[in-house]
């Protein structure tokens, strides 16, 4: 089933290219650029599960990434766990927490839900900022010794990179898998008309809570990996509201509701952002450019780049999901 879908192979190809390019020729600068692209894709494609598939705007999606980072770093630094089990545990823990939150706030619809997600983000950030075991506002630091079992920081950073690429591929696969499943169709039904979906027998509350929880898992794993790579975590970088919002821009740019769109939007936006940051003349204007871009997309092409492609080449719908 999956094997017959072209995008499945494209995702594998993308992951392979991402993994091979910097390793070949030991191009670490490229690796650093690509890892940020990969993280953007992870966050955006999981956000797409909520916004694109289910029609619920989550302004606080970054909370999963940040909490994942905290749980992961806590396990690694305080409990001396290895990176991989720590990251997986972080994913599971954050998913469970999301399920509990979700059952509460997903009773809300539309804009009320969107607002509640901001509330959750702010409340979690405020809690972590006061939480003694996680270092309050100061956060937690990774000791250099944690890199030793992995063969020093050089190897540890490469390992983290490959793991992130893996998580990126899994994120896209997950979106692809859900898209044509019965569960996915239920989500689309909720997006189109929630009341009608309930009448048709979709257990909307459960579906929404499950997808909310599922969309938390891989971002949390990525958070654990990335903050390990970063060497430290504190509440202001873990729960950056701006990053959450940029995720929405990326998704709209690429095309919400599509797998390829989330990856394309994330990749383009992140490269643009990096370029603007290092360009002395334009670095002050990155927000203006991003804002104008978003405004143009929703005004002229609400389906994003992929939606535009669909209109141009209707048959592309079959291939580019």
Partner 1 sequence: MSGILASMIDGLLIGSVYGLAAMGLSLIWGVMDVINLTHGAMIALGMFGMYLLFGASAANPYLLLIPVIAAGLVLGMIVYWLSVSWVIDRPQLMSLLSTFAVNMMVIGIGTAIWSTSPYNVNFSLPGITVGAYTFTGNHIAAAISAVVIALLLELFLYRTRAGKAIRAVADNRDAAELMGISSTQVLMVAFAIGIALAAASGALVSTLFPFTILSGASYQLKSFVVTVLAGLGKPFGALVAGVLLGLLEGAVSPFIAVSWIPLIEFGLFVVVLILFPRGIFGRATA
Partner 2 sequence: MKRTSLIAFLLSLFFVAGGFAQTITLGFTVSRTGSLNVDSLEQYRGFELWRDTVNAAGGIKAGGKSYKVQFASYDDESNSKRVQQLYTRMILEDKADFLFSPYSSSLTATASIVTEQYEKIMLTTGAAEEKTYKLGNQHLYQMFAPATQYLTVALDALKAKDPKATVAFVYEDASFSVAVVTPAKAYAQQLGFNVVFTEAYAPNTTDFSAIIDKVIASKATVLLGGGHYADGSTLARQLYGHKVPLKMISLLVAPDSPQWAELGDAAVGVIVPSQWEPQSTFKAQYGPSGADFGKAYTAKYNAPPSYESAGGYASGLVLQHAIEQAGGIDTDKVAGALNSTDITTFYGRTKFSTVASEHGLQVGHAIVLAQWQKDKAGKLVKQVIWPLAGKSADLVYPIH
Positions touching partner 2 (CB under 8 A) are 27-29, 32-33, 36, 129, 136-139, 141-145, 152-154, 157, 229-232, 234, 236-237, 240, 243, 274, 277-278, 283-284
CA distance 252 to 22: 29
Q: What are the backbone angles phi and psi of residue 74, rounded to the nearest 5°?
A: -60, -45
Residue 45 to residue 16: CA distance in whole angstroms: 18
123 is a site residue for partner 1 (CB under 8 A)? yes
Percent of the chain that is helix, strand, coil (3-state, to 5): 80, 0, 15
When the beta carbons of 174 and 276 are compared against partner 1, the nearer one is 276
Is 285 a binding residue for partner 1 by CB under 8 A? The answer is yes
Q: Does 288 bind partner 1 (CB under 8 A)?
A: yes
**Considering only 51-59, 158-166, 169-177, 208-216, which stretch makes contact with partner 1 by CB under 8 A?**
51-59
Least Å from the CB of residue 80 to partner 2: 15
CB of 138 to partner 2, least distance (A): 5
> The tokens of 144 are what?
């250099």
φ/ψ (deg, to 5) at 57:
-80, 120
Give the list of residues 6+ apart from residue 133 with CB closer than 8 angstroms, or none: 74, 78
Binding mask 130-149 for partner 1 (x = CB under 8 A): x------x------------
Q: What value does the CA radius of gyration of the chain take, rounded to a whole number of Å?
A: 19
57 binds partner 1 (CB under 8 A): yes
- The sign of the CA dihedral 69, 249, 28, 15 is positive
Q: Which helix (H) or strand (E) holds 289?
A: helix 286-300
Give the footprint of partner 1 on this chain (CB under 8 A). 51, 55, 57, 104-105, 107-108, 110-112, 114-116, 118-120, 122-123, 125-127, 129-130, 137, 241, 245, 248-249, 252, 284-292, 294-295, 298-299, 302
């Amino acid at each position: 089933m999956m094997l017959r879908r072209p995008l499945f192979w494209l995702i594998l190809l993308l992951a392979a290219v991402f993994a091979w390019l910097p390793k070949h020729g030991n191009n670490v600068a490229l690796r650093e650029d690509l890892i940020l692209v990969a993280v953007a894709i992870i966050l955006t494609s999981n956000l797409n599960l909520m916004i694109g598939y289910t029609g619920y705007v989550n302004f606080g999606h970054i909370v999963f990434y940040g909490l994942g980072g905290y749980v992961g770093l806590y396990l690694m630094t305080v409990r001396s766990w290895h990176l991989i089990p720590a990251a997986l545990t972080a994913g599971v823990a954050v998913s469970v927490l999301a399920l509990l939150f979700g059952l509460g706030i997903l009773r809300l619809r539309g804009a009320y839900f969107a607002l509640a997600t901001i509330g959750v983000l702010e409340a979690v950030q405020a809690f972590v900022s006061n939480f003694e075991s996680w270092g309050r506002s100061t956060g937690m630091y990774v000791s250099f010794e944690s890199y030793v079992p992995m063969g020093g920081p050089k190897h540890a950073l490469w390992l983290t990179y490959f793991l992130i690429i893996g998580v990126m591929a899994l994120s896209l696969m997950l979106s692809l898998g859900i898209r044509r499943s019965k569960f996915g169709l239920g989500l689309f039904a909720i997006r189109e008309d929630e009341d009608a979906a309930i009448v048709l027998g979709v257990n909307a509350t459960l579906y929404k809570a499950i997808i909310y929880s599922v969309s938390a898992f891989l971002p949390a794993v990525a958070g654990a990996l990335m903050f390990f790579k970063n060497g430290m975590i504190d509440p202001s970088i873990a729960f950056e509201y701006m990053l959450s919002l940029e995720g929405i821009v990326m998704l709209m740019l690429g095309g919400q509701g599509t797998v390829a769109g989330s990856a394309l939007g994330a990749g383009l936006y992140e490269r643009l952002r990096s370029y603007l940051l290092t360009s002395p003349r334009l670095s002050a204007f990155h927000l203006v450019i991003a804002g104008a871009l978003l405004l143009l997309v929703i005004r002229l092409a609400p389906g994003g780049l992929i939606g535009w492609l669909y209109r141009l080449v209707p048959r592309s719908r079959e291939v580019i999901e």
